[in-house]
Structures are given as C-alpha cells and as structure tokens.
Amino acid sequence: MKLVISIHEKLFSQSNVRLFEKYIMFLAIGGFIAHLTLILFESHLGVEIFSAKTNLSSNPISALYTPFTFILVYEAFLLIYYLPRSFTTSVAKEYEIISLVLIRKIFKDIPNLDLDSNDILNLNNIQIIYDLSAVIIIFYMIYLFKKTWHDIPKKESKKNLHKFISYKKLLSVLLLPTLMILCVYNFADWFNSVFFVKDLYSGNLDGVFFKDFFTILILVDVLILLLSLQYTERYSQLIRNTGFIISTILLRLSFGVDGLLSIILLLLGVVFGLIILRIYKLAEKAY
C-alpha cells in the first residue's frame, strides 16, 4: 500500500491540482470564445454548424454551455480528489455537480424562452421554471447537508483506518485515468453526433459524460461500502452509507429521462441523502 500512497500523493499534489485548475481555466475561456465564434459564423453565413436538436447555436447565451462543461469536468476531478477523505464529502460534491449541470442546462435552454407568445406557459417556459426552481432548492439542500454534516459529533474509531484510507486512495488513482478516458470518449462521440451525423443525434445532451460517470461512482460507492464493513460495526453508519448509494442511483437515473421527471429524480436524490444524514446525526448524538 505504500506504493499506492506514493502514487496518490504525486498525482494529487497541490502543484498538480493547481496546474489542472489552470488548464481548465484556459480551456473554459478558449471553449467559450470558440463556441461564440461558431455561433456568429452560423448566424451570419446561414450555414448549419451545430445540430439543430442540440440548441447550442440559437443564441450567444448558449455559448456559456461550453465553459460550464469544463468547470464540471474540474468538479468531477475534485470529487475524485476528495474521495479518500470521507463518504459524506464525496456525496456533497456529487450534489454540487448536479446543481452545476442544471445551471449549464439553463444557459442552453434560455434562448427557448418565448415571452412574446400569448401562451406564456408553454412547454419550454415551464421547463425553465422547473430548472430554476430546482437549482434554488438543491442549493439550499446542499447548505443544509453541509451544515448537518459539520454538526455531527466526531467519534474516535477503535480500529486503525489507515488501510481503509489507502484503499480509497487506490480507487482515486484508478478513477483519474477513467475520468480522462470518459472525457475523451464522450467528447469524440458528442463531436461526431453534433457536427457530422447531425440527423442521428437524439441523446440527452446534458447526460453526456455524467451518465457514465455516475454509473462508475455507484460501483465505487458500493466497493467503499463493502470495504468499510470491516472497519465499522455501527448500524447507523452502514445505513448512512447505503442511503448515500441510493441517493447516487437516483441522481444517475435522472440523466436517463427528460423534463419534469428528471427534476423530480434529482430533487428526490438530494432530499433522500439529506434526510439520511439528518437521521444519522440524531443517532450519533443519541448513542
């Protein structure tokens, strides 16, 4: 395990984290300028560059979708970075990623707002209202989640957790190249669908990358749960970790559907995780 710890410390050193953050910033700015340029070319030349189904070129505001995508990749990297610290930390980061996915979706869908129509409550307008409401609710739920987490009394474990932390560091080391491969694969698939095979693109644009990423997170969470069984005997901790896995599954399911059902699954996932943590807090204070 010493080799794993050494590799983890080198990969996730502060200098590497700052370097990755710097590259993401440059990519986000470059992506925003490139996206905006393509939109201007499309509008002035009258040539369809993006698939019309993606709604990525209907308005310059849509160009904000690209920098937010790079920010989300950075947040996914931070989730992997925080994974060895605690289960609760990584779950909180999952909720933050979900809120940013929703904000990115709003930037993409804002051009669809129809304020001149007599039917102000049309499908597009209502969907944006759903998304805006969900962002506010999830933002507040994240605040309550973190507040609850910090208020939980810390109990000393009777067992040596160094080996368990080493296992989680191994998972982080394995997840990092997985994240990179997923980014490259999903970007290539998306690029081909949007710019070349335009008529065939019918997938959920907001689920690109994150649908696969959250599937992997579920498997990682299950592994951590199984590994934790030999380090804890507390029923409340077992239920908390299992509840967090269920919460992640609900978040993952939201990427497979659209509209109101997607929002309901997102909210249900976050609220379920918050309720589980609150009950866990009561249990920890009682015993």
Write out pLDDT tens, residues 232-244: 777 888 899 999 9
Q: Which amino acid is at 224?
A: I
Reported confidence tier of residue 31, pLDDT bands at 50, 70, 90: confident
CB of 60 closer than 8 Å to CB of 79: no
Q: How far is CA 43 from the centre of its chain?
A: 32
DSSP letter for 203, please. S
pLDDT of residue 230: 80
pLDDT of residue 84: 87
pLDDT of residue 48: 64
Helix/strand/coil for 55: coil
Indicate the range of 73-87, 114-128, 244-258 predicted with least confidence: 114-128
pLDDT of residue 206: 66
pLDDT digits (tens, 9 = 90+) for 159-215: 667 888 888 888 899 998 888 888 888 777 777 766 666 544 445 566 677 888 888
Instruction: Of 222, 248, 245, 209, give the one whose Cα is nearest residue 95.
Output: 248
pLDDT of residue 272: 96
pLDDT of residue 200: 44
Q: Which amino acid is at 137?
A: I
Average pLDDT, the chain: 83
Instruction: Of 137, 167, 245, give the one whose Cα is nearest residue 1.
Output: 167
pLDDT of residue 207: 64
pLDDT digits (tens, 9 = 90+) for 64-116: 888 888 888 899 898 999 888 888 898 999 999 999 989 988 887 777 776 66
Helix/strand/coil for 207: helix
Q: How far is CA 193 from the centre of its chain?
A: 22
> What percent of the chain shows pLDDT beyond 70?
84
CB of 195 closer than 8 Å to CB of 99: no
Task: Tell me the C-alpha distance between 116 and 126, whole Å.
Answer: 15
